[in-house]
């Protein structure tokens, strides 16, 4: 691992060695194997079903994790998934969501979908993706995911197979029987045309030892389609390559000094790149551990009220959240909980109010690192350095090997010139983490800006900002019409 990033000079020093010589893994599958090789018997993943009973957690070693990813990928392969076929996922935060994401990328292309979307939007996304297989939640009391899926499954002509994850399997015997009885009594609805199987029962048929497809995943192979850009009109699906995700995880790990001894809490949803990359691929390619909160993440009952006790129990070192999470935690006293293991909290998705930032750090003595990223950039594009100065209100320094600058546009919306230090303009990106474009070509019309330097176009983020003399970026607004015409 390169030295920790503290200044823009450190970033340039890292870049003095060509990226090709870094020998990064060719795929997300290989990246997780790399982390597992550090110590196969170490705990890779822990999961608790309820925030009020967090001590009752399941755990998976790295040997288990790799085995279950293999098993899931082999199941998908047997069900007809090849490198260009799509596995969609409509799941809350469960271990099977992780197995689906990484097993789906090992077998074909994975397409995570927000379970809270309206059914018709889900159907539109699956049709845009060309989904062949869907992993979703089985009927369960108090949830409506299966009802949503059944209502639209037959609108997706490419959909051949549905795999159900049974939430009841995580319950004690008595509660499990009660849940199944309620489901049985209420299961009077229509049946989808696609074949339906139980995820866990079906997966047990397959070997955990290797990928039976013997697929040699290439860095430029498409790994995932992430939905972005609203819920009206033709869905915008961002195409990530394997190397987009591997590079972004590797480069972000330099900035936050992720090492094998760290424990990361995941409370953000796994249909979003933050949960997938920051709370999945980054720690696992480094051999670190992940604690997965309940299915509803931070929204789960008892998670926020018990958060400091959860940190104490699992000895959490890192967690990632959005400003509303930090605001809510301000109202939770630390009391007797020992949170001394907690090194940093990463905030993204929206600017953190300065007062919340200051109050949180004063009350908890925990450092917050504000960062910036977007789906089109795989996840992370900049972050305040753990080893350097944190500038409150800024989104930090760019990642190594990823270019990031601020430009001025002419009256026609084309490139005019690079902005000077502290001059507000349009933030643009270029680098190995920047996606290949949207699946629907029409969506790419305003996604790129050519500056004429002969080294390829820049991603138009649609965000306005400035860069100071020390290389820190500051967001100042949003020009939505630039990227979402």
Q: What is the pLDDT of residues 144-155, one digit of tens each?
A: 999 999 999 999
d(CA 85, CA 87): 7
Q: Residue 458 falls within a domain, yes or no?
A: no
Q: Give the least confident one: 184-198, 202-216, 242-256, 264-278.
A: 184-198
Return mean pLDDT, the chain. Answer: 93
CATH of the domain at 221: 3.40.50.12780
Neighbouring residues of 358: CB distance < 8 A, sequence distance ≥ 6: 392
The whole-angstrom separation of Cα 71 and Cα 167 is 19
pLDDT at 348: 74
How far is residue 341 CA from its own chain's centroid?
24
Q: What is the mean pLDDT of residues 110-136?
A: 97
Task: Grade residue 484 by pLDDT with cuts at 50, 70 and 90.
Answer: very low
Number of domains in the chain: 1
Contacts of 39 (CB under 8 A, 6+ apart): 62, 260, 287
In a domain, 57, yes or no: yes
Question: Given a cut of 80, is residue 438 above it in pLDDT?
Answer: yes
Instruction: Write the pLDDT tens digit of every residue in 210-240.
Output: 999 999 999 999 999 999 976 666 799 999 9
* In a domain? residue 442: no
Measured between alpha carbons, how far is 62 from 241 in angstroms, rounded to an integer?
A: 24
188 pLDDT band (50/70/90 cuts)? low
B/e letters for 372-393, b = 16+ CB within 10 Å, e = fewer, are bbbbbbbbbbbbbbbebebbee
Tell me whether residue 30 is in a domain.
Answer: yes
What pLDDT shows up at residue 142? 84
- Say what the pLDDT of residue 170 is: 86
Whole-number Å distance between alpha carbons of 369 and 346: 5
State yes or no: pLDDT of 181 exceeds 80: no
pLDDT at 4: 73
- Residue range 127-140, pLDDT digits in tens: 999 999 999 999 98
Tell me how long the chain is: 485
pLDDT at 173: 65
Mean pLDDT on 3-7: 81
- pLDDT attached to residue 341: 96
DSSP 402-456: -EEEEEEE-TTSSEEEEPPTT--EEEEEESTTS-S-BSSGGGGTTTEE--SSSS-
> For residue 1, is it within any domain?
no
Confidence category of residue 482, pLDDT binned at 50, 70, 90: very low
Task: Give the model's pLDDT for residue 481.
Answer: 41
End-to-end CA distance of the chain: 41
pLDDT of residue 1: 56
pLDDT for residue 190 is more than 90: no
Q: Could you tell me the pTM of the whole model? A: 0.95
In a domain, 449, yes or no: no
Distance of CA 118 to the CA centre of its chain: 21
Question: Token digits for 103?
Answer: 């097993």
On whether residue 318 sits in a domain, the answer given is yes
Residue % of the chain over a pLDDT of 90: 82
Residue-level pLDDT at 88: 98
In a domain, 453, yes or no: no
Region 370-385: what's the mean pLDDT?
95
Please give the residue range of the domain that contains residue 122: 8-354
């Amino acid at each position: 691992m390169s030295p920790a990033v503290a200044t823009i000079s450190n970033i340039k020093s890292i870049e003095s060695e060509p990226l090709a010589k870094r020998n990064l893994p060719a795929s997300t599958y290989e990246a997780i194997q790399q982390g597992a090789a550090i110590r196969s018997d170490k705990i890779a993943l822990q999961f608790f079903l309820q925030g009020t009973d967090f001590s009752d957690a399941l755990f998976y070693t790295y040997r288990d994790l790799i085995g279950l990813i293999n098993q899931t990928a082999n199941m998908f392969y047997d069900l007809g998934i090849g490198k260009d076929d799509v596995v969609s996922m409509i799941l809350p935060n469960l271990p099977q969501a992780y197995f689906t994401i990484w097993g789906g990328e090992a077998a074909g292309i994975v397409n995570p979908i927000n379970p809270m979307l309206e059914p018709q939007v889900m159907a539109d996304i699956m049709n845009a993706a060309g989904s062949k297989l869907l992993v979703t939640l089985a009927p369960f009391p108090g949830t409506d995911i299966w009802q949503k899926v059944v209502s639209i499954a037959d609108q997706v002509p490419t959909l051949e197979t549905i795999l159900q994850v049974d939430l009841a399997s995580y319950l004690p015997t008595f509660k499990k029987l009660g849940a199944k009885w309620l489901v049985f009594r209420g299961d009077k609805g229509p049946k989808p045309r696609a074949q339906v199987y139980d995820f866990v029962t079906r997966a047990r048929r397959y070997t955990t030892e290797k990928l039976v497809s013997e697929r040699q995943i290439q860095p430029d192979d498409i790994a995932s389609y992430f939905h972005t850009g609203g819920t009206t009109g033709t869905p915008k699906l961002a195409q990530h390559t394997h190397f987009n995700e591997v590079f972004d995880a590797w480069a972000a790990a330099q900035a936050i000094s992720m090492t094998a001894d760290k424990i990361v809490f995941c409370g953000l949803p796994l249909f979003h790149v933050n949960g997938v990359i920051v709370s999945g691929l980054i720690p696992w390619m480094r051999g670190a551990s992940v604690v997965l909160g309940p299915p509803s993440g931070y929204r789960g009952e008892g998670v926020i009220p018990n958060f400091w006790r959860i940190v104490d129990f699992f000895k959490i070192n890192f967690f990632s959240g959005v400003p509303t999470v930090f605001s809510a935690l301000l109202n939770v006293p630390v009391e007797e909980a020992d949170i001394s293991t907690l090194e940093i909290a990463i905030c993204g998705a929206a600017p953190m109010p300065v007062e919340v930032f200051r109050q949180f750090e004063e009350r908890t003595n925990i450092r917050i690192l504000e960062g910036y990223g977007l789906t089109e950039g795989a996840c992370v594009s900049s972050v305040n350095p753990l080893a350097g100065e944190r500038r409150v209100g800024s989104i930090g320094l760019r990642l190594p090997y990823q270019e990031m600058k601020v430009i001025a546009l002419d009256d026609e919306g084309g490139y005019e010139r690079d902005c000077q230090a502290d001059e507000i303009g349009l933030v643009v990106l270029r680098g190995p983490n920047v996606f290949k474009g949207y699946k629907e070509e029409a969506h790419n019309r305003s996604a790129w800006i050519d500056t004429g330097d002969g080294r390829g176009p820049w991603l138009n983020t649609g965000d306005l900002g400035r860069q100071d003399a020390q290389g820190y970026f500051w967001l100042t607004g949003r020009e939505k019409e630039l990227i979402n015409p």
